[in-house]
Amino acid sequence: MYQELNAIVLPGGTMHMEWTDTGEQISKSSHLLQQEIYRRFTSDSETALLFLGFCDRTVPLSASLSFWREITGLFATKVRLTQDIETVRHRIKIAIERHELDRLLESVPLMTGSEYLSSELLEKIWLRLNTRLQKELKGYAGTVEDFIKTFSPDVHLVGRVFFHLVESKKDDYPFAFLATYSTGLSSKGTSKHLSKRLKQDPEGYARLRKVISPYILRRLKTDRSVISDLPEQVEMKTYASLSKKQMILYKNMVQKLKDIIENTEGIQRKGIILSSLMKFK
């Protein structure tokens, strides 16, 4: 493991991968990542660039590959921040600003072929990334998140609603669901969630409503535009009598439950009550 992979830009603007001796041993993680990049590049350069954008940015690479990871990583970040990405899917269009191109060109390291780099070439490669992503998503049957996780399992998308099972603070309900909404990425690349602070963030709240609105149907008695022939709601209560044997079993279970919960407390007590309610059903 004394070789590193370098990205070389040829006069026509195409990219070539080349192994060079370093004279020093590189880490195993760097070696494995370089091998995977090279394998993908020899098969399809565009999917290799997509992989480079979503791969682990903490793993050291050569200066040239790190530069291209900066470009493709910017593309990957914008993909992750795209609102309604599951709805947009293969129609996704990721733009790059002029100041971003200028910043990237200013950060070009000493590498073979750097004299051929230009904003036009970077825009061309960016467009190729977008076109390849559109093509891949169009033919992918799963979710966008699942597709991206084929490149990296640690990718987090934003603009998503998450439900968490948590312990309830109310004695009547031992467990509860906490809904949070991811609005952005932290410095570590993980999702930042909002829950109670949604009311203090009108913009985030508006995005949340946009995400869940297609799945909410609110029917009013005065609104016939939902389903014109929808019948009126009818409630019926039906009571089932217990047999003598069932009554004896029921009373024994209730008494047994009382004896148990008198000697327990906290989450264990709530768990016993919840499991007993399921048994009573």
Per-residue pLDDT of 123-155, as tens digits, reads 999 999 999 999 999 989 888 888 888 887 655
The C-alpha atoms of residue 95 and residue 75 are separated, in whole angstroms, by 9
User: Does 131 lie in the same domain as 55?
Assistant: yes
The C-alpha atoms of residue 228 and residue 102 are separated, in whole angstroms, by 57
Structure tokens at 261: 């919960």
User: Does 199 lie in the same domain as 82?
Assistant: no
C-alpha separations of 38 from 3, 72, 153, 178, 241 in Å:
12, 16, 20, 44, 72
Share of the chain above pLDDT 90, in %: 34
User: Does 37 lie in the same domain as 108?
Assistant: yes
Domain region containing 32: 3-149
Higher pLDDT, 236 or 118: 118
* Residue 11: DSSP 8-state: T
Structure tokens at 49: 């660039």
What pTM was estimated for this model as a whole? 0.57
Residue 125 lies in a domain: yes
Q: List phi, psi (to 5°) of 205.
A: -65, -40
User: Does 117 lie in the same domain as 78?
Assistant: yes
pLDDT digits (tens, 9 = 90+) for 43-74: 999 999 999 998 888 889 999 999 999 999 99
User: Does 137 lie in the same domain as 51?
Assistant: yes
Count structural domains, the chain.
Answer: 3
Q: What is the mean pLDDT of the chain?
A: 79
Structure tokens at 139: 């033919």
With a CB cutoff of 8 Å and minimum separation 6, the contacts of 81 are: 158, 159, 184, 185
Sign of CA dihedral 112, 118, 124, 130: positive
